[in-house]
């Protein structure tokens, strides 16, 4: 199979779909890889390194899209990229379609087969291709939250961990999944006062066992969220409904009641965000203020630490990429029900129910769409 890797074009996105190491693995399996020139240059993977791994170098994205049977990316295709996709072509990347009707329409119109990293599952019920970026985003959320609490950045002028004689910041993490857990770990490491809120009691018990009495675990209700958000210096939204739009758990009224200069970081923004006041921002213009509260809602947070993120992501995505290349999309999907869960679009049909429901499209089960 001829596999194409275009340069990412989303604002300040330096990650790349395949590392040179991944290219070498695919070439080892007998496949050809075509990488757009300078696709990985921003994180130290130059064209010569890709060539040494066995890749061909293309002068433009149009050349990559025009020749490749499978496109491997990181972020969702932008409108100009959707127009370059064609019927029968395989797209393997993050999609986050539920809050993005424009991209969905573009993919449907193209006739491509689109597999979303974020809905591929594991035998343990996890989301293995989302997990690495959730880990990065969770850890980053505390880092950026601490930065924007600084007075020079418009914050309240609070040091996350305090100092002897001065209270530490109150950090509230909504959601105890992978990103929330990593946010908790970082916030505790910086000696903040940390509360995690989740609706899964079993998960709260697990977090209590891991972190002990240093972590305050709270069962999620509307009342609990309001009580803890209003008193927080930093709130991190880390909720996820796989493939679906994130629920709006923090209302505008709650935001109004927070102390001016407090910060909210919305990790769930790729799925529409879990704050009523959230809208997607970019690394070039990452924050905005609502009712005196700084909002950080960058839709590709891990792109800020692009080299770490790319390598971590490839560790998870490569086995599926090899299977897709070795077997072809139809057989690979038929052989692996967890990869099949990643199929969101096929030949002009929406094959993931949460996306169909969110965007009011007709839902066609993946097996039916593939003629299984």
Q: Is 336 a catalytic residue?
A: no
Q: Is 147 a catalytic residue?
A: no
The active-site residue, picked from 233, 270, 295, 346, is 270
Tokens 């209003």 correspond to what residue?
A: 230
Active-site residue set: 96, 270
């Amino acid at each position: 199979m001829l596999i194409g890797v275009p340069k990412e074009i989303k604002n300040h996105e330096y990650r790349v779909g395949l590392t040179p190491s991944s290219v070498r693995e695919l070439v080892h399996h007998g496949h050809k890889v075509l990488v757009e020139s300078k696709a990985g240059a921003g994180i130290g993977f130059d064209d010569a390194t890709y060539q040494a791994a066995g890749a061909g170098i293309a002068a433009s994205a149009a050349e990559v899209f025009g020749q490749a049977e499978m496109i491997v990316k990181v972020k969702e295709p932008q409108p100009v990229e959707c127009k370059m996709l064609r019927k029968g072509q395989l797209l393997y990347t993050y999609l986050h379609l539920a809050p993005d009707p424009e991209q969905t329409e573009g993919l449907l119109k193209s006739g491509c087969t689109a597999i979303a990293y974020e809905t591929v599952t594991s035998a343990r019920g996890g989301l293995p291709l989302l997990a690495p970026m959730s880990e990065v985003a969770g850890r980053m959320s505390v880092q950026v939250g601490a930065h924007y609490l600084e007075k020079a950045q418009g914050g309240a002028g609070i040091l996350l961990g305090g100092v002897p004689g001065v209270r530490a910041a109150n950090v509230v993490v909504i959601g105890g999944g992978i990103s929330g857990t990593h946010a908790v770990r970082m916030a505790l490491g910086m000696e903040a006062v940390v509360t995690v809120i989740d609706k899964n009691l079993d998960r709260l018990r697990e977090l209590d066992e891991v972190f002990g009495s240093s972590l305050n675990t709270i069962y999620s209700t509307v009342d609990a969220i309001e009580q803890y958000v209003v008193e927080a210096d930093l709130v991190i939204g880390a909720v996820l409904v796989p493939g679906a739009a994130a629920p709006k758990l923090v209302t505008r009224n709650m935001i109004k009641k927070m102390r001016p200069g407090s910060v909210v970081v919305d990790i769930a923004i790729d799925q529409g965000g879990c704050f009523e006041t959230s809208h997607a921002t970019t690394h070039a213009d990452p924050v905005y203020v609502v009712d005196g509260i700084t909002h950080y809602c960058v839709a590709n947070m891990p792109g800020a630490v692009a080299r770490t993120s790319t390598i971590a992501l490839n560790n998870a995505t490569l086995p599926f990429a090899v299977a897709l290349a070795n077997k072809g999309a139809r057989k690979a999907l038929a052989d692996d029900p967890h990869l099949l869960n990643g199929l969101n679009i096929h030949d002009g049909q929406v094959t993931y129910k949460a996306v169909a429901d969110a965007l009011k499209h007709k839902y066609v089960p993946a097996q039916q769409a593939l003629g299984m």
